[in-house]
Structure 1
């Protein structure tokens, strides 16, 4: 029965905890119950195993939630590592009288057994641990709270289960999509859309993804970019005017979002349309990913501009992004020429400067010195999509490999290994990084239990809150498993932009503040306000780090340096 038809049934339902127990199931051990006298909720984290319910087996992963109906039997066997489990026995009854035991129809979710096996259940395990603590105190109000918490878990569990059964969710998605279509030029937030849908943020994201094949905030961006492209093609409105109409407070952020979506800045897009350059006017670049394959002639590297067959090892490589210099140095190679950083004074970054003593300076990433590249006479040039405007001139100098600047450093390092005959070295560096971050993640887990970590950068008048999609955010949240604030639950973009006054809504326990102090020779007024917004009790949890290093250092050396600073912040 669909959830919308169960209104009266659910309105009169009461959940009551009967008993519970928890423990650790050692590898190879078994937890078993037969002919249950009540419904049972099993939540577990860590390890892997097999869960048998009435003879049917389900492989369970690192965290899972299982609902076992009254009268059923179950057996949980730990196959890999120990499983920490919590078993809660409960009764669902009608508020009109305990004798009217729920559920009243055969396929009611509370009358069947099922397993939800995904990473989202880790949150439920934490709530279940709180239930156990409150129940064990044996006090009336604490046990009342335990029942309320259990009801919340059961609600989430049933919503997840109904969703996985293909319930009628299209209406909710259509309502939200229609609202977005009429308001995408405004400042929309996920929690606002979730409230409109009458569900949690996580549920809205899942439903929307199933229906539209993209998240709700991605849908907002899609509508904004499509509308902006129409204005660029068919009107004379300035970039600033278009940015304002699309809901962007700053032209810079609009240009950045447009370039990420279409692969070229808005002004260049408009010029390409005027000149009928369909190669630039269409969003082709953003769909290309770096990869390689073997051919009869040798390894072939696929990049944004085509394919490059490695018939010999290049000896003089010019790189137009500092991260590529880092990749080569990690493989014990040195580029013949590289761009640097800075504005008034250009130099190589301090963290790799020693390895570039014999490398020619080729301007900066944004403004490469093309005559210097020509004088260098390299046999290979490596650049990013930002340098697409120089491609024709560069290709007359030497073969050109063009990669997305935001491409995974591990992918690029692997391709550099193919390119230079250093495959083994590249694999070792990547393996060492995974081993290191896995160990550090385990060490940090108890330190950050119940806490969250935010990555923020003060700008001129706003604060940028980075998500796990951002490359540095991926180091924190994906590689090290640091808990992200609920504020950054959506990962359709690399960052959110909020006013300084709204910073408290991020509600993180720790903040890595990407400071521009070294870039602009002093702390900005916005950065001062950020410090002031966080009260004295939180100030000790702000870790100020150099923005230039954390944002621009995407090679192996730079990434490992960031990991060093994270370890220092939490373990020193």
Structure 2
């Protein structure tokens, strides 16, 4: 999510206190409220008891904080000694009066009930008591102060909630789903998952089905069958090997389970997938006319953002204005006659491509291409992105121009480069090799990363960008390699969102791939240095610094296979070299 959008969701949010009161719940007594008409903060201290929210109960200790949302119900029962409690009712709304807009990185705390057990700090209790006292005076300035205290308390509660301080506040479905994603190759039992969630088997099944539309064990089977389908399509592993990797006791039991889920036996599925590959490939290309191709009497026709380009003969002098396209050509055994590079004061090609570009002329940078150099080079084809549309008229006067979306899928672009250069078979083989490699590696990594998660972060000037699976590099990690996503980012549909450096611990990943700007900035920034100091704490948390320019810019087969190499080295064979 863009920083501006994410920030405005909070800065436009108004918190208004509606009521506040305190009391003492004597041993054996009950405090009960049904269908609350506003959000409620309930803080308590003293004895022990039980708290039930919307029918689900948990044991509470000597102090706790509870957040109940509008429409929910709660019951507090004192079991040993008196419990002193404070109730604060409030509402959150947009300053413009519209429905509240919340950041999309996860199910937002202001919209869900949660409990922070043993977390009602003395300062919170003191501020809550002060809040109630100010509110009860009924004076304008006093109530203004009460609202200010409330906003600070809500901030503290959310920070504690996101860092996972407590038990019942963690969403049981997210916790269990994440655990299953890392352990579905092992024998799992409902009782084991219920213990992990801190609830009964019945509660887990009901909550899980509400959110996932299937039960926990059905979810296990789904992940197993998705993994099996992937290996059947992209690897030559035997049925027995696949069954063993997925935790089935024998291949016959696995085959029956696969047929029941998919509709055909594994071997039939593999043969059918192989026979329809070409047809599916052609159909997929035609579904996106901005980057596709079709056959004509004159030759292959490349559909791009500025029209169509007929490949009547193979280009000999191709100039590219994005290094990812130089990557594609090198993967096919070719070199561009000219390419943009990276850097500010000193321009160069990325390290992973440098050896193959020894005879390629530098043409400025992606953002600022050297157009006179392109003219002097006299290429017979120019390949660029939508960013270069402002130069289209001048570029078209030099040579035919093919323009692709910069964030287009690399496999689609490589296939089109195969059409452009007469290397169609080579392009298909590179894609097949990549799919096979990542399918096998993902299985190996799954065992190593059981109960762990991997984050992809990039320090900026004063913030940190956390990438999701929707980001094209994140897709390599989370989709192609199946690395477990931290719960903190699992719900986002955005390619990335921004957090302050202070909130980085809330991500709670075991491994961090840190996209370093060191090579581009000739040194590590203060923010990056601070992040390294916060995270590099030992065996429980490992940081792998990687070059941001390569991981984000070289989005072609060479660069992406290099990313996979570095991930494999970091997670299976030691630290990554920058």
Q: TM-score, normalised by structure 1?
A: 0.54
Map of 1:341 onto structure 2: 342
* 1: CA distance, partners of 2:561 / 2:214: 43
Map of 1:331 onto structure 2: 332
Displacement of 1:298 in angstroms is 1.6
Do residues 465 (structure 1) and 466 (structure 2) align? Answer: yes
Q: Say whether the 8 Å CA contact 1:501–1:533 is kept in structure 2.
A: no
Instruction: Assess, with a 3 A threshold, how the Cα gap between structure 1 residues 490 and 439 changes in structure 2: closer, same or farther.
Output: same
- Consecutive unaligned residues in structure 2, runs of 5 or more: 1-34, 36-52, 58-176, 216-287, 574-578
Displacement of 1:521 in angstroms is 2.2
Map of 2:361 onto structure 1: 360
Displacement of 1:533 in angstroms is 2.8
Q: Superposition pairs for residues 462-501 of structure 1, below 5 Å?
A: 462-501=463-502
Displacement of 1:296 in angstroms is 2.2
Determine which of 204, 207, 211 is the counterpart of 1:152: 204
1:447-469 Cα shifts (integer Å, max 9, x gaps): 01111100001110000001111
Q: Say whether the 8 Å CA contact 2:182–2:451 is kept in structure 1.
A: no
Q: Say whether the 8 Å CA contact 2:536–2:542 is kept in structure 1.
A: no
Displacement of 1:536 in angstroms is 2.3
1:85-140 Cα shifts (integer Å, max 9, x gaps): xxxxxxxxxxxxxxxxxxxxxxxxxxxxxxxxxx99955986993644489xxxxx
Q: Say whether the 8 Å CA contact 1:461–1:526 is kept in structure 2.
A: yes
Displacement of 1:487 in angstroms is 1.9
Instruction: Assess, with a 3 A threshold, how the Cα gap between structure 1 residues 463 and 288 changes in structure 2: closer, same or farther.
Output: farther
Instruction: Assess, with a 3 A threshold, how the Cα gap between structure 1 residues 539 and 330 changes in structure 2: closer, same or farther.
Output: same
Displacement of 1:345 in angstroms is 1.4
Instruction: Assess, with a 3 A threshold, how the Cα gap between structure 1 residues 132 and 371 changes in structure 2: closer, same or farther.
Output: same
1:359-404 Cα shifts (integer Å, max 9, x gaps): 2221111111111111111111000111110001001111100011
Other structure's SS at 2:447 match: coil
Q: Superposition pairs for residues 144-183 of structure 1, below 5 Å?
A: 148-161=200-213
* 2: CA distance, partners of 1:446 / 1:486: 19
1:137-174 Cα shifts (integer Å, max 9, x gaps): xxxxx79x8762541232221454499xxxxxxxxxxx
Instruction: Assess, with a 3 A threshold, how the Cα gap between structure 1 residues 160 and 345 changes in structure 2: closer, same or farther.
Output: closer
Instruction: Assess, with a 3 A threshold, how the Cα gap between structure 1 residues 147 and 499 changes in structure 2: closer, same or farther.
Output: closer
* 2: CA distance, partners of 1:489 / 1:420: 40
Q: Say whether the 8 Å CA contact 1:131–1:146 is kept in structure 2.
A: no
* 1: CA distance, partners of 2:54 / 2:385: 58
Q: Say whether the 8 Å CA contact 2:469–2:478 is kept in structure 1.
A: yes
Q: Answer with 537-546 or 464-473: which moved more.
A: 537-546
Other structure's SS at 1:324 match: helix
Map of 2:451 onto structure 1: 450
Displacement of 1:11 in angstroms is 6.9
* 2: CA distance, partners of 1:396 / 1:416: 22
Q: Superposition pairs for residues 341-490 of structure 1, below 5 Å?
A: 341-490=342-491
Instruction: Assess, with a 3 A threshold, how the Cα gap between structure 1 residues 557 and 535 changes in structure 2: closer, same or farther.
Output: closer
* 1: CA distance, partners of 2:516 / 2:435: 27
Q: Superposition pairs for residues 53-92 of structure 1, below 5 Å?
A: none
Do residues 129 (structure 1) and 129 (structure 2) align? Answer: no
Other structure's SS at 1:457 match: strand
Instruction: Assess, with a 3 A threshold, how the Cα gap between structure 1 residues 154 and 474 changes in structure 2: closer, same or farther.
Output: same
* 2: CA distance, partners of 1:151 / 1:398: 66
Map of 1:527 onto structure 2: 528
Higher relative contact order (CA 8 A, sep 6+): 2
In the TM superposition, structure 1's runs of 4+ consecutive aligned residues that sit over 3 Å from their partners are 10-14, 119-128, 130-135, 158-163, 537-540
* 2: CA distance, partners of 1:502 / 1:12: 33
Displacement of 1:475 in angstroms is 0.6
Q: How many residue pairs end up in the alignment? A: 330
Displacement of 1:325 in angstroms is 0.8
Q: Say whether the 8 Å CA contact 2:535–2:542 is kept in structure 1.
A: no
* 1: CA distance, partners of 2:506 / 2:563: 26
* 1: CA distance, partners of 2:193 / 2:208: 20
Q: Say whether the 8 Å CA contact 1:440–1:480 is kept in structure 2.
A: yes
Map of 1:308 onto structure 2: 309
Report the aligned-residue RMSD: 3.0
Q: Say whether the 8 Å CA contact 2:342–2:520 is kept in structure 1.
A: no
